[in-house]
Amino acid sequence: MNISDIEEILKAHFAGSIPTDEAAAKLRNLSYEDIGYARVDHGRAARQGFPEVIFGQGKTPEQVCGIFEKLLERTPNLLITRTTSEVFGQIRNIFTDAEWHESAKMIRVIRDRTDLGIGEISVCTAGTSDIPVAEEAALTAEAMGNRVQRMWDAGVAGIHRILGERERLQNSRVVIVAAGMEGALPSVVGGLVAVPVIALPTSIGYGASFHGLAALLGMLNSCASNVTVVNIDNGFGAGFAASLINRK
Amino acid sequence: MNISDIEEILKAHFAGSIPTDEAAAKLRNLSYEDIGYARVDHGRAARQGFPEVIFGQGKTPEQVCGIFEKLLERTPNLLITRTTSEVFGQIRNIFTDAEWHESAKMIRVIRDRTDLGIGEISVCTAGTSDIPVAEEAALTAEAMGNRVQRMWDAGVAGIHRILGERERLQNSRVVIVAAGMEGALPSVVGGLVAVPVIALPTSIGYGASFHGLAALLGMLNSCASNVTVVNIDNGFGAGFAASLINRK
Amino acid sequence: MNISDIEEILKAHFAGSIPTDEAAAKLRNLSYEDIGYARVDHGRAARQGFPEVIFGQGKTPEQVCGIFEKLLERTPNLLITRTTSEVFGQIRNIFTDAEWHESAKMIRVIRDRTDLGIGEISVCTAGTSDIPVAEEAALTAEAMGNRVQRMWDAGVAGIHRILGERERLQNSRVVIVAAGMEGALPSVVGGLVAVPVIALPTSIGYGASFHGLAALLGMLNSCASNVTVVNIDNGFGAGFAASLINRK
Amino acid sequence: MNISDIEEILKAHFAGSIPTDEAAAKLRNLSYEDIGYARVDHGRAARQGFPEVIFGQGKTPEQVCGIFEKLLERTPNLLITRTTSEVFGQIRNIFTDAEWHESAKMIRVIRDRTDLGIGEISVCTAGTSDIPVAEEAALTAEAMGNRVQRMWDAGVAGIHRILGERERLQNSRVVIVAAGMEGALPSVVGGLVAVPVIALPTSIGYGASFHGLAALLGMLNSCASNVTVVNIDNGFGAGFAASLINRK
Amino acid sequence: MNISDIEEILKAHFAGSIPTDEAAAKLRNLSYEDIGYARVDHGRAARQGFPEVIFGQGKTPEQVCGIFEKLLERTPNLLITRTTSEVFGQIRNIFTDAEWHESAKMIRVIRDRTDLGIGEISVCTAGTSDIPVAEEAALTAEAMGNRVQRMWDAGVAGIHRILGERERLQNSRVVIVAAGMEGALPSVVGGLVAVPVIALPTSIGYGASFHGLAALLGMLNSCASNVTVVNIDNGFGAGFAASLINRK
Amino acid sequence: MNISDIEEILKAHFAGSIPTDEAAAKLRNLSYEDIGYARVDHGRAARQGFPEVIFGQGKTPEQVCGIFEKLLERTPNLLITRTTSEVFGQIRNIFTDAEWHESAKMIRVIRDRTDLGIGEISVCTAGTSDIPVAEEAALTAEAMGNRVQRMWDAGVAGIHRILGERERLQNSRVVIVAAGMEGALPSVVGGLVAVPVIALPTSIGYGASFHGLAALLGMLNSCASNVTVVNIDNGFGAGFAASLINRK
Amino acid sequence: MNISDIEEILKAHFAGSIPTDEAAAKLRNLSYEDIGYARVDHGRAARQGFPEVIFGQGKTPEQVCGIFEKLLERTPNLLITRTTSEVFGQIRNIFTDAEWHESAKMIRVIRDRTDLGIGEISVCTAGTSDIPVAEEAALTAEAMGNRVQRMWDAGVAGIHRILGERERLQNSRVVIVAAGMEGALPSVVGGLVAVPVIALPTSIGYGASFHGLAALLGMLNSCASNVTVVNIDNGFGAGFAASLINRK
Amino acid sequence: MNISDIEEILKAHFAGSIPTDEAAAKLRNLSYEDIGYARVDHGRAARQGFPEVIFGQGKTPEQVCGIFEKLLERTPNLLITRTTSEVFGQIRNIFTDAEWHESAKMIRVIRDRTDLGIGEISVCTAGTSDIPVAEEAALTAEAMGNRVQRMWDAGVAGIHRILGERERLQNSRVVIVAAGMEGALPSVVGGLVAVPVIALPTSIGYGASFHGLAALLGMLNSCASNVTVVNIDNGFGAGFAASLINRK
C-alpha cells in the first residue's frame, strides 16, 4: 500500500466513479485474497520485491497446494520451504515444471531467470554437514535473480581453506556464511572482506551446541563489524536478505 | 465450599440431625468423588462456571473414559483436550454424539447451547500453521456458551491484513491472538482495540523459536498494556479465560 | 483510526474542502504529536479507553517531563511508572497535585474519579515483600475508575489465610494475584473463584527464583484454567488489563 | 570402610596372619566386585541401609542381567528402575518371582517384608498423570520396609481435595508430593503438616513447563520451610530418602 | 486447623455459647492476626513445630519490627533471616537479648534450649567461602532444639578431608552438605552414610557456576540416592528440614 | 593481504632487491603495528572499508588513548564506543576536535564528510528509551559517509505512528530498527519495505525481557524475510553493516 | 603451512623453475583437495599430528565414503565417528580390514601400531552407562599410538571404587574421566593425581541433567585445578587431546 | 596418600613403634591442618605438584591471611587469586616480598624459580580487554616453573595477526587462548598447531555474550580436536593445567 495507491483511490472517488463507502473499504481491504485458512498476500511482490513464499512446516498438504495455486497465477518464481517429497508429489500434479531439491527440502518454480543483481552472492559453509542449509540460501538467491558462488567445507580449523578463497570472496557483493558447532567462520570471513556478511547458524553439532544455539550466539557476538545474523537453519531468510542487498 | 454450605451444616448439627463427628467430616470432605486414580471434582462448575475438563496427555485411555463417564452424568458440555483419535473411538462407544476435532486433537460434547456471553470473542492467528491451537481456543469458547469469530493468517509482515479486521476486532468483547515465531501480533492488536487481549503463543517455528519460547517472551513483554498471556499452545486456557471475561 | 474517521476525510475531500494530497497525508498521519524524542499518542484514549502512560525507565527526567506536559493537557488521569522521587520533584513543579507513591515508585494524577467498573477488583499478595508490585496494580486500577480491595500476605504455606478471604474473592469481578518465589497462589485462588484471575509474578526470592522466572513459569503452567499472566513485576499491566475486564 | 574394619586388618597384620603387602591391598581394595562393565558395590547395604539399585537406562539387557545376578545372591530385595518389559522377560528367566510394574517401568524383587519404619509414608499426586512417577516412589518405599499411603489427584486448583486428606497427612512420618505443571502442591502440603515433605517434580505438562523445569523451580522456591526436592521424575530417589527419614 | 479444633467450635456452638454466624466465621478465620501489611500466622507452631520465621529481604525495617513484636509475644525462639545490621539495631531496642550473626546475616532469639532431637545434625561445607550459608543452617537447627556438629572446608578435591570425618558423619541422624562451584560433596557424603543428606547449593563460584546453578543441578542429579536438595543459599530451609527429620 | 601484494613481494624478491628470509617474513607479518597490549590493524581500512574502531569496554584509559593515537595518524574518521566522559577528557587533550555523544557514550572524530552512500539510511526506534542505542547506529553510519534519517518512538502498540512513516522508509536504501521489550517493530517495518532491514534489539525492558533476550529472539524469528539481526545494544554493528549495504 | 614450505616455494621461484603467478597461487592454495562437497585436508597430519577424522553425523553415506577413499590413500590410521552400521557396510566394501565398534558407533582403520606416547592414558567412567562415550575416547587414543587403561563404573557414591584405582591413576600421563548425571568424578580424580585430567561429560541422566548440561557445568566449575573439559559426549575430542598431551 | 605411605605406617605399627589405634588414626587423618574455618591441605603439593592456592573470593581478609601464613611455612611459591589491593596490604605485613598484580587481581609469592617445563607455554588473547584473564594464566604458569610467551590482541577478525605468530605457536609445548565475545580464536589456533590448546573463555562482551556464555559454548563446540576448555575467566585453571601438560 503505497501513497500513489491511496491517491488513485482518492482521485477515482473524487471523480465520482466509486462511492464513499466503497473507497473506504478499498483503503482498508488491501490486496490480499482470503481463502479461509490463509490470506494470500498478492501485494507482497510490490512491497518486498518478491512474491510470498510458502512456509511448509505445520501446514497440511491441502493447505500448501491451495496457497500454491493462488500464488502461481500471479508470480513467475515461487518457493515452498521446509516441505516433503510427499507434498512435491501433489505439487507436481499442479505444475509439472516444479523442481524438488532433496537436501534443502525445497520445492522451486523458476520461470523468470532475469539477472537482477549488482554482483555475485557467495555462499560458504564451514563443513559438509552444513550444505543443506546453505543450499536453501543459494536456491533462494537464484530464484530471486542472482548469480551465486558456492564454497563448501572451508571451516576455521583448516584456515588455509578459506584463505584460499579470499579473492572470490572479496569480489562478491555480499557473502552468506553457514556454520554449525562454534560458528566461527563468519568472523573470519567478515575480517577478510569489505562487503556485508550474513551469518547463517546451522543446527549441526551435538551436546553443548544445543541445536545451533552455540553457533547463533557466536555469530551475534562476532568481533567482525560487518556481520548480521539470521535464525538457526534459516537458509531462506539469508538468501532473501542477500538478494535485497544485491538488488540493483 | 461457600459460607452458606457451612452454615447449613452448622444448623443441621445444631438441630441435632447430624452428630458432631459427622458434621466435622462433612466440613472436611467436600464435593468430589474419588475413583482411585482421580478425584472427580463435581463442585468445580459451581466454583468456576464450567465442569472439569479432562486433560488427556499422560492418562491411559481407560482413565480418560472412566473420568468421562463420571462427568457426563452431571454436566451437559464437556471437553477432552490433547487426546487422540484412538481415545475418541472408545469415547464414542460411551456417548455417540461426541465430536472429534482433528486439528485441535479435542473431543467435545455440547448438549447445552445457551448464549452466556456479553458480546463476541474474536480468535485470530498470525499464520495458517497456528490454526490448530487457535481452534482449540475457539472450540472451548463455543462450548462455554460464546459466539466466536475466527480470523486466520493475519500476521504482522503483511500489516494490512490485520488492519482490515480492525472494526470486527473493536466490536469484540475480548480478543484471543495466537502466534508463533516472534509472536508480534498481540501487541499490534492490543494497540488497536479497547478490550482485553489474550496472547496465545504457539510452538510454530524452528531454531531460535525454541518451541514457542520466543513468542512467549515477546508476548510477556508486549508494549500494549491490555495483553495478558497463557502457556505455549494452551488454546484451552485462552478460550476458558476469554469466556469468563465475556460472561454476563 | 476507525472507519468513520476515514469516511469523514473522504467526504471533506469529495466536497473539495481539502485537496487530494492533504487528504492522503491525513490518512497517513493520524493523531499523534511528534516532539522529537517521542510521538505522543493522543488517539490512545479513544482506542484503548485510557491515555498513554509514561514508562519512566530509560528516559531522562527532561523527556519524562516533556511528555507529561503534553499528555496533561488532554487527559484528566495520568500515570508515570518506574520513576524516582527526583523526577517527582520536577513533576510537582509542573502540576502540584501529582501524588508520589514510594513503594510502587509511581507518580499519579487523578482528576476524574468516576466509577467505570462493573464490580470490584481484588488485589492479593502471597507475602509482605510482594506489596510494592501489587500496589502498582492497585493504583493503576483506581486511576482507571475502579474500586479495589487489597489483601496482603496470604500465601499458600498458611492456606487458611487465603481461604478466609474466599467470599470477598468470589464477589470480585476480577482478581489480581501477585506472588514471587514459587508463585503458587494464583492457582489456588483460580480454583476458588469463577472470575478471571490475572497472575502477577514478582521478582521476590533468591537463588533458583532467577529474579521471578520460577514464579512466572509456575503461573504460566497453572492447573487453574482461568489464569492469565503478565510480565514479572508488571503491576501496571495487571491493573490495566483488569480494568478493561471490569469496564462496564 | 569403617574404623573397625581397618583395625581388624591391622590386628591380623600385627599378629602376622597376613603379610604387609596383602594388608595394604585390603585397605585399598574394599568390598566391591568388578565384573568388567560394572563394579558391583556389595558394601552399599552396610553403608546406606539398602543394596545397590540398578539404573536401567543406558545399559544393555545383558549388563542389567549380569548385575542383577550378582546382587541377587546377597540381598533379599532389589529394584531395577527405568527399564522395559523386554528386560523383564529376561530377568524372569533368572528369578521367576520378580514383579513387573508397568506404570513405573520398574522390576522389583521383594523377599523380605519386615516393617522397618517409625510410621507411615504418604505419597500424593497433584494429578492422575503424575501417578507413574509417584508409583515409583511408593514401590521403592515398600521395598525398603515401609508402609505407604497413596493419595492420587489432589491438585491445588480444587484445594478441598487435599484439605480433605489433612488428617492422614498429619499422621504420616514423611510425605512425598508429586506434581508437574506449576508444582504448587508441595507448598500447600508443607504448610499443613509438621513433618518433612519431599517434593517430586514430574515432567507432566507442555510448553513453558519445559519438561518439568517449571515444577522443579517452583518446588525449590517453596515458601514452606519443610520442603526438600529431588530430580524431575526421580520417584526412586524420593522413595529412598523418605525411607531413611522413616527408618527406626 | 486440626480436627479437634473444629470439634471444639462445633461443641461450643451446639451448647449455644457461640451463635451460628460466629462459629462459621471462626471456622473460616483461623488463627492469624492481620496487621495490614502482614497476616501473622500464630497457628504455624502447632502446624509445623516451629513459629513463623521472618524473611527479611524486601521488607522495610518497620515491617520487620512490627512482625517481630507480634511473634515475640507467643514464641520463645525466633529467627529473622536475610536481614542487616541496621535492622538489628532496631530489633535490639525491642528485645535486648537478640543475637546478631554477621556471616549468616541473621537475627536470632533463643529463650528455650530444650533438646528436641533424636541425634545430632552434621553441617559440612566444601570450602571456607561456603561457611555463611552453612552457618545459617546450623543456627536454625540449634534454634529448633538440635545439637549441631560443624565441619568446614572438606571439599572433594582433597578427598581425605571428608573421609577423615566419616565416623562423625555416620553417627549423625541427618547431614547437611553446603557446596558451591560443582557441588560434588553431597554425592560423596551421600555414599558414605546411611542417613538422609540435605544438599545445600551455594552461590559461591564465578563464570559457568551461574550464581549457584551448576551446584544446584549437580546436586539434583546426585548418583547417591539419599540426597534431597533445597534452593541455592537456602541455609534456613536446610536447617529447618533437618530439624524435622531429627525430631523425636 | 590480497594477491597483488603477494605478487609485488615475489617480484621484488625475484629481482633480488629483498632476500629470501625477508620476503618470507613479509608474507607472514602483514600490516599491523604491535604496541604491546594491542595489535593496531592498519590494513583494516583496505580490507573492510573503514578504520578499526576502538571498543572501549574493558580497556584502561591509557590503552584507549594509546590505540587512539596510533589510529589517528592514518585515518580521517574514528570512533570509540562504550566509553566514558572521563576517557573523553583525556582524548580531547590529544585531539581537540573530538566529539562527545552523551546518550550513545561514544567519542567521534569526523574529518572527512564525503557522501559514500547510494541512498539514505533510516534509523527508527520503538520507544524513547531505545534512542541511545539507535543513536550509536546513526552516529556510526554518518561517520562512514552516509546520510541518516532518524525516526524515534514509533512502536507497534500505536501502529499508525510507523505507518505514517511508510513513504520515508520505502525511499531508504536500508533501514535499522531498534526495539526493546518484545521487539516487534522490525517485523512490521520489514513487511512495509522492499529493502534490507537490520533489527537492533535493545536491553530496554524488565522481568522476562531478560536484558534484551526477548527482543533478540523475537527479531531472529521475524516472519518478515528481509530482516537480519545484530547483538543486543550493538548500535555500532548495525550502523556499520548498514553502511556497507549502502556503499556505492 | 610452515615457514620452510614458504621458503621452498620462494627458492624455486627465485631459481626460475616456477613463474610468479604459479608461486602466488601455491602460496594461497595450500594442501587440501576439493572434491565438491568437501575439502579434504591432507595437511592436517603435518599440522596436528593426525589425519583428518570424518565426523559422520549429517553427511550422506556417499559423502562419508568419498572422503574416506581420499584419506585412505595418504594415512595409515583413520576414524569415522558418529556413524552407523549401515555406513560400515559400505566402508567395508572399500577397505575390508576396517573395524566396527558398536557401542562407540565408530569405524576404525589401524594399520600403524607404533607406540607414540610418553606413558599410559587412563580412561575412567562413573557408571556403566557412560561406557560408550568413554570407549570412543579410548579407541581414538589407541588409534593415535597410545596405550590405554580402561576403568569402568567407579562413581563417587561408592568412593572406595575410585580410591582403589589411585595407584594406576597416579601412574598415568593423563586421565580421561567420563561421567553423566552430576559429573562429580573428575573433581575427585583431579584431587588424587598430579597429571592433567580431561573431563568428559556424558548425556546420561534424565530430568534436570538436561542432556548432559548438569555434568558439563559441574566439570567446568571443578574445584580441582588440573581439570579441563570437552563437549558433552565428545569422546573423540577427549581422546585426541589426551594423545597430544601424551605425545613424546 | 600413596601405597608407600600406607606400607610405612603398617611397618611402624608392626615394629611396635606406634600402637594400633594411632596407626588407624593416621590412616584416616592424612596430611591436612584444621584451623577452624579451613583445612589447609599440605599434601596437595605431593599429590598435585603444586601447593594449595587460595581462592580469595568469599573469604574474609582474616581468613585469607590465616591460610596464607599456614601455607607460607611449607611452600616456596604461592598464589592468592580473585583478591583485592586491601588484602594485599595485609599480606605484605606478613611477607614483604609478595607481588601485587593489578590487572589479574592476584597476589603472588615466588621464591623458587626452577624451570620445570619441557618447553614454552604460549598465552594469546583475542583482544586487549582479555588481557587481565590471560595474565592470571601467565602468572600462574610462571609460578609453577614455566617459561611463558605472551601474545595479546590477535583476534580472528584480523586473521593475519594470529597467522603472523604461527611459528612461535607451533614451537610451544602447549597454548592457552583467551577470548571473549564469540570465542573463535581457539579453533583457529587449534588448527595451526600440533600441541594441546586450552581455551579460556572470558566474560568480555555484552548483550548476547551473556557474561562469557557465548564464548564458552563456542569453545566447547570447537571443530579443532585438540581444544579443551576451562571455566569463564578461569585464568588460574588454564595456567595450572598447562603447567601439568608441560611438566617434565
Asked whether A106 and A233 are in contact (CB, 8 A), the reply is no
* Mean predicted confidence (pLDDT) in B114-133: 96
For residue G234, the model assigns a pLDDT of 98
For residue B45, the model assigns a pLDDT of 60
Asked whether E172 and E119 are in contact (CB, 8 A), the reply is yes
For residue A44, the model assigns a pLDDT of 63
Where do runs of H (alpha helix) occur along G126-234?
131-143, 160-163, 166-170, 185-192, 213-220
Q: Please provide the DSSP assignment of A92-111 as one string.
A: HHH-TT-EEETTTTEEEE--
Chains that touch B (3 or more CB pairs under 8 A): A, C, D, E, F
Taking the C-alpha atoms of residue E233 and residue F3, their distance in angstroms, rounded to an integer, is: 60
pLDDT band with cut points at 50, 70 and 90 for residue B51: low
C-alpha cell at F142: 554518518
Beta strands in chain E (DSSP E): 32-34, 39-41, 54-55, 78-81, 99-101, 106-109, 120-125, 147-151, 174-179, 197-201, 227-229
Name the CA dihedral angle for B209, B213, B216, B217, rounded to a multiple of 10 degrees: -90
Helix (H) or strand (E) holding F41: strand F39-41
Asked whether C140 and C128 are in contact (CB, 8 A), the reply is no
For residue C49, the model assigns a pLDDT of 60
Q: Please provide the DSSP assignment of F180-231 as one string.
A: -TT--HHHHHHHH-SS-EEEEE-----GGGGGGHHHHHHHHT-SSTTEEE--
Asked whether E195 and E176 are in contact (CB, 8 A), the reply is no
Asked whether C158 and D224 are in contact (CB, 8 A), the reply is no
- Ranking A27-31, F198-202, G227-231, H196-200 by mean pLDDT, the lowest is A27-31
- Ranking A43-52, C70-79, C217-226, E159-168 by mean pLDDT, the lowest is A43-52
Q: Are strands A197-201 and A227-229 parallel, antiparallel or unpaired?
A: parallel
Cβ-defined contact of C237 to B229 (cutoff 8 Å): no
HSE of F231 in the Cβ direction (CA atoms, 13 Å)? Answer: 24
Checking if the pLDDT of D2 tops 50, the result is no
Question: Which residues face D123 on adjacent strands?
Answer: D150, D176
pLDDT band with cut points at 50, 70 and 90 for residue C188: very high
Dump pLDDT digits (tens) for F77-118. Answer: 999 999 999 999 999 999 999 999 999 999 999 999 999 999
Checking if the pLDDT of H3 tops 50, the result is no
Neighbour tally for D96: CB within 10 Å? 7
For residue G29, the model assigns a pLDDT of 43
Asked whether F162 and F111 are in contact (CB, 8 A), the reply is no
Q: Please provide the DSSP assignment of H26-75 as one string.
A: HHHS-SEEE-SS-EEETTHHHHHSSPPPEE-TT--HHHHHHHHHHHHTT-
C-alpha cell at B171: 466490536
Taking the C-alpha atoms of residue A136 and residue A114, their distance in angstroms, rounded to an integer, is: 20
Q: Which parts of chain E have pLDDT scores under 50? A: 1-3, 28-29
Chains E and H touch (3+ CB pairs under 8 A): yes
The distance of G159 to chain E (nearest Cα, Å) reads 7
Taking the C-alpha atoms of residue G233 and residue G212, their distance in angstroms, rounded to an integer, is: 8
Asked whether H240 and H136 are in contact (CB, 8 A), the reply is no
Helix (H) or strand (E) holding H246: helix H235-246
For residue D31, the model assigns a pLDDT of 60
The angle, 0 to 180 degrees and rounded to 10, between the axes of the packed helices D20-28 and D3-14 is: 170
For residue A46, the model assigns a pLDDT of 55
Cβ-defined contact of A193 to F230 (cutoff 8 Å): no
Asked whether B175 and B227 are in contact (CB, 8 A), the reply is no
For residue D177, the model assigns a pLDDT of 98
Task: Give Cα separations from E202 to A104, G247, H203 (angstroms).
Answer: 48, 40, 21
For residue C86, the model assigns a pLDDT of 96
* Residues of F whose CB is below 8 A from A53: 225
Task: State the average pLDDT for chain C.
Answer: 89
Dump pLDDT digits (tens) for C5-63. Answer: 666 777 787 777 887 777 765 664 456 778 888 887 766 665 566 767 899 999 999 99
**D6/A125: higher pLDDT:** A125
- Give the residue numbers in F contacting C (CB under 8 Å), as ranges: 127-131, 152-154, 158, 160-161, 163-164, 166-167, 204, 206-209
* Residues contacting G237, CB < 8 A, separation 6+: G230, G231, H225, H227, H228
Neighbour tally for B130: CB within 10 Å? 29
* Residues of C whose CB is below 8 A from F163: 28, 30
Neighbour tally for A168: CB within 10 Å? 14
C-alpha cell at H51: 601447593
Asked whether E222 and G182 are in contact (CB, 8 A), the reply is yes
Beta strands in E169-221 (DSSP E): 174-179, 197-201
pLDDT band with cut points at 50, 70 and 90 for residue H115: very high
Asked whether H186 and G231 are in contact (CB, 8 A), the reply is no
Task: State the average pLDDT for chain H.
Answer: 89
User: From the list G187, G214, G223, which residue is nearest E217 (CB)?
Assistant: G214
Neighbour tally for E57: CB within 10 Å? 14
User: From the list E44, E58, E231, which residue is nearest C207 (CB)?
Assistant: E231
Dump pLDDT digits (tens) for H48-79. Answer: 667 678 999 999 999 999 999 989 988 889 99
Name the CA dihedral angle for B43, B47, B51, B52, rounded to a multiple of 10 degrees: -80
- Ranking A86-90, A160-164, B98-102, E120-124 by mean pLDDT, the lowest is A160-164
Taking the C-alpha atoms of residue H3 and residue G71, their distance in angstroms, rounded to an integer, is: 47
Task: Give Cα separations from F65 to B207, F36, F80, G60, H154 (angstroms).
Answer: 42, 14, 10, 54, 19
Taking the C-alpha atoms of residue C36 and residue G73, their distance in angstroms, rounded to an integer, is: 70
Chains that touch D (3 or more CB pairs under 8 A): B, C, E, G, H
* Residues contacting G25, CB < 8 A, separation 6+: none
Cβ-defined contact of G164 to D30 (cutoff 8 Å): yes
* Residues of A whose CB is below 8 A from G241: none
The distance of D202 to chain G (nearest Cα, Å) reads 9
Q: Please provide the DSSP assignment of E71-133 as one string.
A: HHTT-S-EEEES--HHHHHHHHHH-TT-EEETTTTEEEE-------BSSEEEEEESSGGGHHH
Tally of helices (H runs) and strands (E runs) in chain A? 11, 11
- Ranking A214-223, E45-54, F16-25 by mean pLDDT, the lowest is E45-54
Chains C and G touch (3+ CB pairs under 8 A): no
For residue A134, the model assigns a pLDDT of 98
Order of strands, sheet of A99-101, starting from the edge strand that comes earlier in the sequence: A54-55, A78-81, A106-109, A99-101
Cβ-defined contact of A27 to C23 (cutoff 8 Å): no
* Mean predicted confidence (pLDDT) in F221-245: 97
User: From the list H196, H216, H232, which residue is nearest G241 (CB)?
Assistant: H196
HSE of G174 in the Cβ direction (CA atoms, 13 Å)? Answer: 34
F25 → chain G, closest CA residue: G3
**A28/E223: higher pLDDT:** E223
For residue H45, the model assigns a pLDDT of 61
Rounded to the nearest angstrom, the gap between the alpha carbon of residue F108 and the centroid of all alpha carbons in its chain is 12
Cβ-defined contact of G226 to H216 (cutoff 8 Å): no
Give me the amino acid identity at G153.
D
Chains that touch C (3 or more CB pairs under 8 A): A, B, D, E, F
Cβ-defined contact of F48 to A191 (cutoff 8 Å): yes
G206 → chain E, closest CA residue: E221
Beta strands in chain C (DSSP E): 32-34, 39-41, 54-55, 78-81, 99-101, 106-109, 120-125, 147-151, 174-179, 197-201, 227-229
Taking the C-alpha atoms of residue H158 and residue F43, their distance in angstroms, rounded to an integer, is: 9
* Residues of C whose CB is below 8 A from A10: 10, 13, 20, 23-24
* Mean predicted confidence (pLDDT) in A55-77: 92
* Mean predicted confidence (pLDDT) in H100-113: 95
For residue A155, the model assigns a pLDDT of 92
Checking if the pLDDT of C165 tops 60, the result is yes
* Residues of D whose CB is below 8 A from B213: 208
pLDDT band with cut points at 50, 70 and 90 for residue D1: very low
For residue D115, the model assigns a pLDDT of 94
Given its phi and psi angles, is residue G237 left (phi above 0), alpha (psi -120 to 50 degrees) or beta?
alpha
* Mean predicted confidence (pLDDT) in H154-170: 89
Taking the C-alpha atoms of residue D110 and residue D132, their distance in angstroms, rounded to an integer, is: 20
C-alpha cell at E46: 502447632
For residue D15, the model assigns a pLDDT of 79
The distance of E104 to chain C (nearest Cα, Å) reads 15
Helix (H) or strand (E) holding C220: helix C213-220
For residue B1, the model assigns a pLDDT of 40
User: From the list E193, E220, E237, which residue is nearest D225 (CB)?
Assistant: E237
* Residues of H whose CB is below 8 A from D11: 20
Taking the C-alpha atoms of residue A30 and residue E226, their distance in angstroms, rounded to an integer, is: 66
**G50/F155: higher pLDDT:** F155
Q: What is the DSSP letter of F127?
A: S
For residue G216, the model assigns a pLDDT of 98
Neighbour tally for E11: CB within 10 Å? 13
Q: What is the DSSP letter of G82?
A: S
* Mean predicted confidence (pLDDT) in A45-54: 69
Q: What are phi and psi of E28, to 5 degrees?
A: -85, -45
Collapsing DSSP to helix, strand or coil, B85 comes out as helix
**H23/D30: higher pLDDT:** H23
Taking the C-alpha atoms of residue H218 and residue B198, their distance in angstroms, rounded to an integer, is: 38
For residue E141, the model assigns a pLDDT of 97
Asked whether C149 and E34 are in contact (CB, 8 A), the reply is no
Helix, strand, coil share (%) of chain G residues, nearest 5: 45, 20, 35
* Mean predicted confidence (pLDDT) in C104-126: 95
Residues of chain A with pLDDT > 70, as a percent, come to 90
Dump pLDDT digits (tens) for G76-96. Answer: 899 999 999 999 999 999 999
User: From the list A127, A164, A206, which residue is nearest G28 (CB)?
Assistant: A164
